[in-house]
Protein backbone atom coordinates (compact mmCIF):
# COMPACT_ATOMS: atom_id res chain seq x y z
CA UNK A 1 0.00 0.00 0.00
CA UNK A 2 1.30 3.47 -0.84
CA UNK A 3 1.18 5.72 2.19
CA UNK A 4 0.85 9.48 2.16
CA UNK A 5 4.21 11.22 2.23
CA UNK A 6 4.96 11.99 5.86
CA UNK A 7 8.17 13.96 6.50
CA UNK A 8 8.60 12.09 9.80
CA UNK A 9 8.72 8.82 7.88
CA UNK A 10 11.98 10.08 6.37
CA UNK A 11 13.53 10.89 9.72
CA UNK A 12 15.84 7.90 9.32
CA UNK A 13 18.07 10.39 7.49
CA UNK A 14 18.62 8.10 4.50
CA UNK A 15 19.58 9.71 1.21
CA UNK A 16 17.90 8.68 -2.03
CA UNK A 17 20.02 6.68 -4.47
CA UNK A 18 18.68 8.71 -7.40
CA UNK A 19 15.51 10.41 -8.62
CA UNK A 20 13.57 10.83 -11.87
CA UNK A 21 10.80 13.10 -13.13
CA UNK A 22 7.42 12.03 -14.52
CA UNK A 23 4.86 13.93 -16.60
CA UNK A 24 1.92 12.73 -18.72
CA UNK A 25 -0.62 13.80 -21.33
CA UNK A 26 0.60 17.31 -22.08
CA UNK A 27 -1.54 17.34 -25.27
CA UNK A 28 -0.47 20.82 -26.31
CA UNK A 29 -2.37 22.64 -29.06
CA UNK A 30 -2.53 26.35 -29.90
CA UNK A 31 -6.26 26.41 -29.13
CA UNK A 32 -8.68 28.00 -26.70
CA UNK A 33 -9.76 25.80 -23.79
CA UNK A 34 -12.12 22.97 -24.70
CA UNK A 35 -13.62 19.86 -23.15
CA UNK A 36 -13.07 16.10 -23.12
CA UNK A 37 -15.25 13.84 -25.31
CA UNK A 38 -17.93 13.51 -22.61
CA UNK A 39 -17.85 17.31 -22.16
CA UNK A 40 -17.41 16.71 -18.42
CA UNK A 41 -13.88 18.07 -17.92
CA UNK A 42 -12.13 21.16 -19.22
CA UNK A 43 -8.98 20.86 -21.33
CA UNK A 44 -6.37 23.62 -21.24
CA UNK A 45 -4.67 23.14 -24.64
CA UNK A 46 -2.55 26.25 -24.69
CA UNK A 47 -1.76 26.39 -20.99
CA UNK A 48 -0.35 22.84 -21.00
CA UNK A 49 2.88 24.29 -22.41
CA UNK A 50 3.08 26.72 -19.46
CA UNK A 51 2.68 23.75 -17.09
CA UNK A 52 5.51 21.95 -18.88
CA UNK A 53 7.75 25.02 -18.59
CA UNK A 54 6.97 25.17 -14.85
CA UNK A 55 7.79 21.49 -14.40
CA UNK A 56 11.13 21.89 -16.21
CA UNK A 57 12.06 24.93 -14.09
CA UNK A 58 11.29 22.90 -10.97
CA UNK A 59 13.33 19.87 -12.04
CA UNK A 60 16.27 22.08 -13.03
CA UNK A 61 16.24 23.71 -9.58
CA UNK A 62 16.12 20.52 -7.50
CA UNK A 63 19.06 20.15 -5.08
CA UNK A 64 19.92 16.84 -6.65
CA UNK A 65 19.02 16.81 -10.36
CA UNK A 66 16.80 13.93 -11.47
CA UNK A 67 18.71 11.44 -13.64
CA UNK A 68 16.05 11.73 -16.35
CA UNK A 69 12.41 12.56 -17.04
CA UNK A 70 9.82 10.04 -18.24
CA UNK A 71 7.29 11.61 -20.62
CA UNK A 72 4.37 9.18 -20.55
CA UNK A 73 2.84 9.96 -23.96
CA UNK A 74 0.27 12.21 -25.69
CA UNK A 75 2.73 15.08 -25.96
CA UNK A 76 0.55 17.08 -28.42
CA UNK A 77 -3.20 16.87 -29.01
CA UNK A 78 -4.90 15.22 -31.98
CA UNK A 79 -6.47 18.57 -32.91
CA UNK A 80 -3.09 19.59 -34.32
CA UNK A 81 -3.59 17.14 -37.19
CA UNK A 82 -6.98 18.65 -38.00
CA UNK A 83 -5.38 22.11 -38.33
CA UNK A 84 -2.30 20.67 -40.11
CA UNK A 85 0.13 22.02 -37.51
CA UNK A 86 1.35 18.73 -35.98
CA UNK A 87 5.04 19.23 -36.80
CA UNK A 88 4.98 22.88 -35.73
CA UNK A 89 3.39 22.04 -32.36
CA UNK A 90 5.74 19.12 -31.77
CA UNK A 91 8.73 21.37 -32.51
CA UNK A 92 7.48 23.94 -29.97
CA UNK A 93 7.08 21.33 -27.22
CA UNK A 94 10.42 19.67 -28.02
CA UNK A 95 12.16 23.06 -27.94
CA UNK A 96 10.65 23.57 -24.49
CA UNK A 97 12.03 20.21 -23.37
CA UNK A 98 15.48 21.35 -24.51
CA UNK A 99 15.55 23.69 -21.49
CA UNK A 100 15.70 20.58 -19.29
CA UNK A 101 19.19 19.71 -18.01
CA UNK A 102 18.62 15.92 -18.13
CA UNK A 103 17.56 13.38 -20.80
CA UNK A 104 13.90 12.67 -21.58
CA UNK A 105 12.51 9.22 -22.35
CA UNK A 106 9.39 9.44 -24.54
CA UNK A 107 6.57 6.89 -24.67
CA UNK A 108 4.00 6.99 -27.49
CA UNK A 109 0.26 7.32 -26.91
CA UNK A 110 -2.83 7.55 -29.10
CA UNK A 111 -2.37 11.28 -29.74
CA UNK A 112 1.10 10.67 -31.20
CA UNK A 113 -0.64 8.40 -33.73
CA UNK A 114 -3.47 10.88 -34.44
CA UNK A 115 -0.74 13.28 -35.55
CA UNK A 116 1.93 11.06 -37.09
CA UNK A 117 2.50 7.70 -38.71
CA UNK A 118 4.63 5.16 -36.88
CA UNK A 119 7.29 5.59 -39.59
CA UNK A 120 7.43 9.32 -38.88
CA UNK A 121 7.75 8.75 -35.12
CA UNK A 122 10.60 6.27 -35.54
CA UNK A 123 12.61 8.99 -37.30
CA UNK A 124 11.52 11.85 -35.02
CA UNK A 125 12.83 13.41 -31.81
CA UNK A 126 10.16 11.41 -29.97
CA UNK A 127 12.25 8.29 -30.54
CA UNK A 128 14.47 8.17 -27.44
CA UNK A 129 15.68 4.62 -28.07
CA UNK A 130 19.24 5.96 -28.46
CA UNK A 131 19.23 6.21 -24.64
CA UNK A 132 18.84 2.43 -24.26
CA UNK A 133 21.30 0.14 -22.51
CA UNK A 134 22.08 -3.12 -24.29
CA UNK A 135 23.03 -6.36 -22.56
CA UNK A 136 25.33 -7.53 -25.32
CA UNK A 137 25.98 -10.97 -23.83
CA UNK A 138 22.19 -11.57 -23.76
CA UNK A 139 20.93 -10.81 -27.30
CA UNK A 140 17.44 -12.05 -26.35
CA UNK A 141 17.06 -8.84 -24.27
CA UNK A 142 17.66 -6.61 -27.32
CA UNK A 143 14.29 -5.38 -28.65
CA UNK A 144 13.15 -5.92 -32.23
CA UNK A 145 12.60 -3.00 -34.61
CA UNK A 146 8.96 -4.15 -35.01
CA UNK A 147 7.89 -2.25 -31.88
CA UNK A 148 9.12 0.81 -29.97
CA UNK A 149 10.42 -0.49 -26.65
CA UNK A 150 13.74 -0.55 -24.83
CA UNK A 151 15.32 -0.68 -21.39
CA UNK A 152 17.98 1.34 -19.59
CA UNK A 153 19.80 1.40 -16.27
CA UNK A 154 19.64 4.79 -14.50
CA UNK A 155 21.47 3.44 -11.44
CA UNK A 156 23.15 0.09 -10.65
CA UNK A 157 20.60 -2.67 -9.94
CA UNK A 158 17.64 -0.62 -11.25
CA UNK A 159 16.32 -1.22 -14.76
CA UNK A 160 13.59 0.83 -16.49
CA UNK A 161 11.60 -0.77 -19.33
CA UNK A 162 9.62 1.35 -21.81
CA UNK A 163 6.79 -0.56 -23.50
CA UNK A 164 4.97 0.09 -26.77
CA UNK A 165 1.27 -0.05 -25.85
CA UNK A 166 0.24 0.61 -29.47
CA UNK A 167 2.29 -2.25 -30.91
CA UNK A 168 -1.13 -3.79 -31.65
CA UNK A 169 -3.25 -0.90 -32.92
CA UNK A 170 -5.15 0.43 -35.93
CA UNK A 171 -3.65 3.89 -35.36
CA UNK A 172 -0.66 5.26 -37.26
CA UNK A 173 -0.16 2.33 -39.62
CA UNK A 174 -0.84 1.79 -43.32
CA UNK A 175 -4.41 0.54 -43.73
CA UNK A 176 -3.29 -1.82 -46.51
CA UNK A 177 -0.75 -3.60 -44.27
CA UNK A 178 -1.33 -7.12 -42.88
CA UNK A 179 -0.76 -5.80 -39.34
CA UNK A 180 -3.56 -3.24 -39.75
CA UNK A 181 -5.90 -5.99 -40.97
CA UNK A 182 -4.89 -8.25 -38.06
CA UNK A 183 -5.48 -5.46 -35.49
CA UNK A 184 -8.78 -4.34 -37.05
CA UNK A 185 -9.99 -7.97 -36.99
CA UNK A 186 -9.01 -8.24 -33.31
CA UNK A 187 -10.76 -4.95 -32.49
CA UNK A 188 -13.98 -5.86 -34.36
CA UNK A 189 -14.10 -9.31 -32.73
CA UNK A 190 -14.33 -7.59 -29.34
CA UNK A 191 -16.19 -4.43 -30.38
CA UNK A 192 -19.23 -4.73 -32.69
CA UNK A 193 -20.08 -1.01 -32.38
CA UNK A 194 -20.16 1.10 -35.54
CA UNK A 195 -18.22 3.75 -33.59
CA UNK A 196 -15.08 1.86 -32.61
CA UNK A 197 -14.16 4.49 -30.01
CA UNK A 198 -17.36 3.63 -28.11
CA UNK A 199 -17.21 1.06 -25.29
CA UNK A 200 -21.02 0.91 -25.10
CA UNK A 201 -22.30 -2.56 -24.25
CA UNK A 202 -18.84 -4.17 -24.29
CA UNK A 203 -17.93 -6.90 -21.79
CA UNK A 204 -14.28 -5.87 -22.36
CA UNK A 205 -14.58 -2.07 -22.59
CA UNK A 206 -10.85 -1.58 -23.23
CA UNK A 207 -11.35 -2.79 -26.83
CA UNK A 208 -11.79 0.65 -28.35
CA UNK A 209 -9.84 2.30 -31.15
CA UNK A 210 -8.05 4.83 -28.91
CA UNK A 211 -6.35 1.98 -27.03
CA UNK A 212 -3.92 -0.67 -28.25
CA UNK A 213 -2.03 -3.69 -27.05
CA UNK A 214 1.24 -5.61 -26.82
CA UNK A 215 2.22 -8.13 -29.51
CA UNK A 216 3.34 -11.60 -28.46
CA UNK A 217 6.78 -10.72 -29.81
CA UNK A 218 7.06 -7.73 -27.47
CA UNK A 219 5.72 -9.75 -24.51
CA UNK A 220 8.29 -12.49 -25.15
CA UNK A 221 11.00 -9.82 -25.17
CA UNK A 222 9.69 -8.34 -21.90
CA UNK A 223 9.79 -11.82 -20.38
CA UNK A 224 13.47 -12.18 -21.37
CA UNK A 225 14.40 -8.78 -19.88
CA UNK A 226 12.61 -9.58 -16.61
CA UNK A 227 14.30 -13.00 -16.48
CA UNK A 228 17.67 -11.27 -16.75
CA UNK A 229 16.68 -8.75 -14.04
CA UNK A 230 15.53 -11.56 -11.72
CA UNK A 231 18.85 -13.35 -12.12
CA UNK A 232 20.77 -10.13 -11.43
CA UNK A 233 18.70 -9.04 -8.40
CA UNK A 234 17.56 -5.85 -10.16
CA UNK A 235 14.48 -3.80 -9.37
CA UNK A 236 12.44 -2.91 -12.46
CA UNK A 237 10.17 0.05 -13.24
CA UNK A 238 7.93 -0.40 -16.31
CA UNK A 239 6.67 2.59 -18.29
CA UNK A 240 3.73 2.57 -20.73
CA UNK A 241 1.20 5.09 -22.02
CA UNK A 242 -1.64 2.65 -21.29
CA UNK A 243 -2.25 1.25 -17.80
CA UNK A 244 -2.63 -2.50 -17.27
CA UNK A 245 -4.15 -2.89 -13.80
CA UNK A 246 -7.95 -2.42 -13.52
CA UNK A 247 -7.89 -1.33 -9.86
CA UNK A 248 -5.72 1.69 -10.76
CA UNK A 249 -7.57 2.73 -13.90
CA UNK A 250 -10.86 3.37 -15.61
CA UNK A 251 -11.59 0.02 -17.34
CA UNK A 252 -12.10 1.82 -20.68
CA UNK A 253 -8.48 3.05 -20.61
CA UNK A 254 -6.65 -0.27 -20.18
CA UNK A 255 -4.42 -1.89 -22.80
CA UNK A 256 -6.36 -4.39 -24.93
CA UNK A 257 -4.49 -7.45 -23.63
CA UNK A 258 -3.53 -6.03 -20.24
CA UNK A 259 -3.90 -9.45 -18.62
CA UNK A 260 -1.13 -10.90 -20.83
CA UNK A 261 1.27 -8.18 -19.62
CA UNK A 262 0.23 -8.67 -15.99
CA UNK A 263 0.75 -12.44 -16.21
CA UNK A 264 4.35 -11.95 -17.34
CA UNK A 265 5.07 -9.30 -14.68
CA UNK A 266 3.56 -11.50 -11.96
CA UNK A 267 5.72 -14.45 -13.01
CA UNK A 268 8.85 -12.48 -12.06
CA UNK A 269 9.94 -10.97 -8.76
CA UNK A 270 11.83 -7.93 -10.06
CA UNK A 271 9.06 -5.47 -11.02
CA UNK A 272 8.28 -2.91 -8.31
CA UNK A 273 6.36 -0.21 -10.18
CA UNK A 274 4.31 0.32 -13.37
CA UNK A 275 3.89 3.93 -14.53
CA UNK A 276 1.23 5.01 -17.04
CA UNK A 277 -0.74 8.01 -18.27
CA UNK A 278 -3.79 8.09 -20.59
CA UNK A 279 -6.58 8.33 -18.00
CA UNK A 280 -5.99 12.06 -17.16
CA UNK A 281 -7.69 11.46 -13.77
CA UNK A 282 -4.80 9.63 -12.21
CA UNK A 283 -5.07 6.45 -10.20
CA UNK A 284 -3.11 4.16 -7.91
CA UNK A 285 -3.23 0.61 -6.63
CA UNK A 286 -0.79 -1.94 -5.30
CA UNK A 287 -1.56 -5.33 -6.84
CA UNK A 288 -1.52 -8.65 -4.89
CA UNK A 289 2.08 -9.25 -6.01
CA UNK A 290 3.35 -5.97 -4.55
CA UNK A 291 3.65 -4.02 -7.83
CA UNK A 292 2.70 -0.34 -7.43
CA UNK A 293 0.58 0.84 -10.38
CA UNK A 294 0.65 4.62 -10.75
CA UNK A 295 -1.48 6.41 -13.36
CA UNK A 296 -0.31 9.99 -13.54
CA UNK A 297 -2.77 12.87 -13.67
CA UNK A 298 -2.77 14.49 -17.13
CA UNK A 299 -1.38 17.99 -17.71
CA UNK A 300 -4.09 18.70 -20.33
CA UNK A 301 -6.89 18.71 -17.73
CA UNK A 302 -4.97 20.67 -15.11
CA UNK A 303 -6.24 24.18 -14.36
CA UNK A 304 -3.82 27.12 -14.80
CA UNK A 305 -3.56 27.65 -11.03
CA UNK A 306 -2.48 24.03 -10.40
CA UNK A 307 0.18 21.62 -11.75
CA UNK A 308 0.56 17.94 -12.72
CA UNK A 309 3.99 16.31 -12.56
CA UNK A 310 6.16 14.58 -10.03
CA UNK A 311 9.63 13.56 -8.96
CA UNK A 312 10.22 10.01 -7.76
CA UNK A 313 13.01 9.63 -5.19
CA UNK A 314 14.38 6.11 -5.19
CA UNK A 315 15.70 4.47 -2.00
CA UNK A 316 17.02 0.94 -1.39
CA UNK A 317 13.68 -0.07 0.22
CA UNK A 318 11.07 2.27 -1.31
CA UNK A 319 10.18 4.93 -3.84
CA UNK A 320 8.79 8.31 -2.79
CA UNK A 321 6.65 10.14 -5.32
CA UNK A 322 6.69 13.85 -4.57
CA UNK A 323 3.74 15.16 -6.55
CA UNK A 324 3.06 18.74 -7.61
CA UNK A 325 -0.40 20.27 -7.92
CA UNK A 326 -2.99 17.55 -8.38
CA UNK A 327 -0.46 14.69 -8.33
CA UNK A 328 -0.55 13.26 -4.79
CA UNK A 329 2.53 12.24 -2.79
CA UNK A 330 3.02 8.50 -2.32
CA UNK A 331 5.35 6.22 -0.37
CA UNK A 332 5.77 2.95 -2.28
CA UNK A 333 7.61 0.25 -0.36
CA UNK A 334 9.10 -2.72 -2.17
CA UNK A 335 7.22 -5.80 -0.99
CA UNK A 336 7.62 -8.16 -3.94
CA UNK A 337 9.78 -10.68 -2.09
CA UNK A 338 7.24 -10.97 0.74
CA UNK A 339 4.32 -11.10 -1.70
CA UNK A 340 5.88 -13.93 -3.69
Instruction: Spell out a b/e string for 126-143, using b for 16 or more CB atoms within 10 Å of the CB, else e.
Output: bebeebbeebeeeeebeb
Residue 79 pLDDT greater than 60, yes or no? yes
* pLDDT digit string, tens, across residues 32-49: 999 988 888 999 999 999
Task: Please state, in angstroms and as integers, the Cα–Cα distance from residue 190 to each residue in 110, 120, 183, 206, 220, following that order.
Answer: 19, 29, 11, 9, 24
pLDDT higher at 210 or 339: 210
pLDDT in tens, 140-159: 999 999 999 999 999 999 99
pLDDT at 39: 84
DSSP state of 254: S
Q: Is-contact 164 149, C-beta < 8 A?
A: yes
Q: How far is CA 214 from CA 159, 167, 244, 264, 337, in A?
A: 20, 5, 11, 12, 27
Give the per-residue pLDDT at 15: 92
pLDDT band at 1 (very low <50, low <70, confident <90, very high): low
Average pLDDT over residues 285-306: 98
Give percent above pLDDT 70 in the chain. Answer: 95
Q: What is the Cα–Cα distance from 206 to 190, expressed in whole angstroms?
A: 9
Rounded to whole angstroms, the Cα distance separating 68 from 154 reads 8
Q: Does the pTM of the predicted model rise above 0.85?
A: yes
Residue range 228-255: mean pLDDT, rounded: 97
pLDDT of residue 2: 56
Share of the chain above pLDDT 90, in %: 93
Q: Is the dihedral of CA 280, 286, 289, 290 positive or negative?
A: positive
- Give the mean pLDDT of 102-114: 98
Report the alpha-carbon angle 231-235-239, nearest 5: 120
Indicate the pLDDT class of residue 8, thresholds 50, 70 and 90. Answer: very low
CA–CA separation, 290 and 271 (whole Å): 9
Give the C-alpha separation, 205 to 191, whole Å: 8
Distance CA 266, CA 43 (A): 36
Model pLDDT, residue 37? 81
Amino acid sequence: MAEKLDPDALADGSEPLFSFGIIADIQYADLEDGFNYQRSRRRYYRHSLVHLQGAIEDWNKENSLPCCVLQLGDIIDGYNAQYKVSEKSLELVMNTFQMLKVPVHHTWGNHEFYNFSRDFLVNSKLNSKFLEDRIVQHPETIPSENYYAYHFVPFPKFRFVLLDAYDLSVLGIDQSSPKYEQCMKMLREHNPNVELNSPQGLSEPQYVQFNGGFSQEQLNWLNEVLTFSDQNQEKVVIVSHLPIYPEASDSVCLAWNYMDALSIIWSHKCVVCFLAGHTHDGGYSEDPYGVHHVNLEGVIETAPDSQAFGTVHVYPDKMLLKGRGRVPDRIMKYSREEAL
